[in-house]
Structure 1
Amino acid sequence: MSLRVATLLLLASVLWSHVAASTDQALDCCLTTTNTKLPHRVVKSYSIQSVSGGCRIAATVFVTNKNLRLCAPPATKNNWVAKLIKQLKRKSHKGKARKEKNGELLCKNMMQFNKQFY
């Protein structure tokens, strides 16, 4: 009987610490935005911050090549933000196409290699 009680107490304490830890997590939100234009060559990705996600303001968060997070106004409110997002999307599609092409070449080379030895 005491083993069951000890097991239940241990389980309850583990669950309680998990619940307490998950409620203490802070959101990483932009508090202000800047209208300073960013050159596309220093930006590697972006994300959209929304008010419905728990943040106070809507923003576009750009991540630089050095992993700095820069907060800009939403794309609907600023033209340079929309253009930069468009450039990033175009750049990511080119990279995906290049990877797919390289994957096809690798498969063809492997098939030719296998034909030589079998």
Structure 2
Amino acid sequence: MAPWGDAKLLFSCILLIACCCTVTVAEIPMDCCLTVRNATVPKHRVADYRKQNAGEGCSISAMILLTRRGVKLCVPVDAPWLTEVVNHIHTVREHCKKQNFKGKRCFGVKP
């Protein structure tokens, strides 16, 4: 076989491996809410939150609340009580930042 034939075979193998790795990385599962529960969550139990947007790997839009004990709760984004909970989380974060995460109020709060 000619030297160019070996180079083409090597390039083809590298290209095949790169394509397989790309497909594998693209299939990383996401932690999505499949349903939401429209029950009020007491603000003192919530330590953190994040927003889930529909079309960005998940099928529905939701707010994921993380309790101080590490439980994830899925609630609707447009819940009227949610703004009060989010404001409370920001207030607690600022307080805990000043206290260097010490005290009962800062239990489970992420910086």
Shorter-normalised TM range: 0.5 to 0.7
Structure 1: runs of 5 or more not aligned: 100-118
Change (3 A) 1:5 1:48: same
> Is 1:68 the equivalent of 2:68?
no
Higher relative contact order by CA 8 Å / sep ≥ 6: 1 or 2? 2
Residue in 1 that maps onto 2:25: 22
Q: Which has the larger radius of gyration?
A: 1
Q: Give the helix-richer structure, 1 or 2.
A: 1
TM-score in terms of structure 1 length: 0.64
1:86 aligns with 2:87: yes
Q: C-alpha displacement at 1:52, in angstroms?
A: 4.3
2:53 corresponds to? 50
For 1:64 and 1:7, the matched residues in 2 are separated by 53
Alpha-carbon distance in 1 for matches of 2:65, 2:27: 26
CA distance in 1, matches of 2:96, 2:90: 10
- Between the aligned partners of 1:7 and 1:85, the Cα distance in structure 2 is 55
Q: What TM-score do the two structures reach when normalised by structure 2?
A: 0.67
Report the aligned-residue RMSD: 2.4
Counting aligned pairs with the same residue, the percent is 21
Gaps of 5+ in 2: 101-111
SS of residue matched to 2:41? coil
